[in-house]
Amino acid sequence: MVLTSLNKITGLQKKTACIRNICILAHVDHGKTTLADCLISSNGIISSRLAGKLRYLDSREDEQIRGITMKSSAITLLFGKDGEEYLINLIDSPGHVDFSSEVSTAVRLCDGCIVVVDAVEGVCPQTHAVLRQAWLENIRPVLVINKIDRLIMELKFTPQEAYSHLKNILEQVNAITATLFTSKVLEERAEKDTETQMTSDSAQRDQVYDWSAGLESTDDSHLYFSPDQGNVVFASAVDGWGFGIEHFAKLYSQKIGIKPSVLLKTLWGDYYLNTKAKKIMKSDQSKGKKPLFVQLVLDNIWSLYEAVTKRDKEKIDKIVSSLGLKIGARESRHADPKVQLNAICSQWLPISEAVLSMVCNKLPSPLDITIERVEKLMSVGGKAFDSLPQETQDLKDAFMKCSSEETAPVIVFVSKMFAVDAKTLPQNKPRSILKSSSLTTCKSA
Residues 215-244 pLDDT 10s: 555 656 678 999 999 999 999 999 999 999
Mark whether 283 and 347 lie in a shared domain: yes
Same domain, 362 and 378: no
For helices 313-323 and 299-309, the axis angle rounded to 10 degrees is: 140
Q: Is 380 in the same domain as 354? A: no
Give yes or no: residues 301 and 316 share one domain: yes
Q: Are residues 241 and 331 in the same domain?
A: yes
Question: How much is the average pLDDT of 5-17?
Answer: 80
Could you give the CA distance from residue 290 to residue 285 in angstroms, rounded to a whole number? Answer: 8
CA-based nearest residue to 145, from 202, 225, 205, 218: 225
pLDDT of residue 345: 94
Longest distance between any two alpha carbons in the chain, whole Å? 106
- Whether the pLDDT of residue 152 is over 80: the answer is yes
For residues 342 and 393, state if they share a domain.
Answer: no
Interacting residues of 292 by C-beta distance below 8 A, sequence separation 6+: 263, 266, 267, 269, 271, 272, 273, 280
DSSP 31-64: SHHHHHHHHHHTTTSS-GGGTTTS-TT--SHHHH
Whether residue 208 is contained in a domain is answered as no
- Alpha-carbon distance of 328 to 70, in angstroms, equals 37
Band the pLDDT of 332: cuts 50, 70, 90. Answer: confident
| Lowest pLDDT segment from 99-113, 197-211, 423-437 | 197-211
- State whether 424 and 353 are in the same domain: no
Mean of per-residue pLDDT scores for the chain: 85
pLDDT digits (tens, 9 = 90+) for 384-437: 888 888 888 888 888 888 888 888 888 888 887 777 777 777 766 665 543 433
Distances (CA, A) of 13 to 16, 114, 330, 406: 6, 22, 40, 13
- Residue 339 CB burial class (10 angstroms; 0-12, 13-18, ≥19): middle
pLDDT at 216: 57
Q: What percent of the chain has pLDDT over 90?
A: 47
Q: What does the alpha-carbon distance between residue 190 and residue 320 come to, in Å, rounded to a whole number?
A: 60
163 and 287 in a common domain:
yes
Q: Rounded to an integer, what distance in angstroms lies between the CA atom of residue 242 and that of residue 351?
A: 4
**Alpha carbons 53 and 338: distance in angstroms, whole number:** 13
Residue 359's nearest CA partner among 9, 22, 95, 97 is: 22
What local confidence, expressed as pLDDT, does residue 439 receive?
A: 33
CB neighbourhood size of 174 (10 A): 15
Residues in CB range of 166: below 8 A, 6 or more apart: 119, 145, 148, 234
In a domain, 206, yes or no: no
Cα–Cα distance between 349 and 343 in angstroms, integer?
A: 10
Centre a 10 Å sphere on the Cβ of residue 126 and count the other Cβ atoms it contains: 19
Q: CA 140 from chain center: how many Å?
A: 9
Q: 140 and 187 in one domain?
A: yes
Q: Which residue has the higher pLDDT, 370 or 192?
A: 370
**What does the pLDDT look like over 333-344, one tens digit per residue?**
888 889 999 999
What confidence score (pLDDT) does residue 32 get? Answer: 92
Tell me if 17 sits within 8 A of 366, measured CB to CB: no
Q: Which of 368, 391, 407 is the last residue in one of the domains?
A: 368
User: CA-CA distance, 146 to 202, in Å (whole number)?
Assistant: 57
Rounded distance, CA 405 to CA 362, Å? 27
What is the pTM (predicted TM-score) of this model?
Answer: 0.85
336 and 399 share one domain: no
Q: What pLDDT score was predicted for residue 357?
A: 96
Number of domains within the chain? 2
Question: Where are the extended beta strands (E) located within 95-175?
Answer: 112-118, 140-146
Least confident of 61-70, 104-113, 262-271, 290-299: 61-70
With a cut of 70, say whether residue 192 has pLDDT above it.
yes
378 with 364, same domain: the answer is no
Band (pLDDT 50/70/90 cuts) for residue 199 is very low
How many CB atoms within 10 Å of residue 308? 22
Dihedral sign for Cα atoms in the order 276, 228, 34, 163:
negative
Q: Find the domain containing 280 and state its range.
A: 2-192+222-368
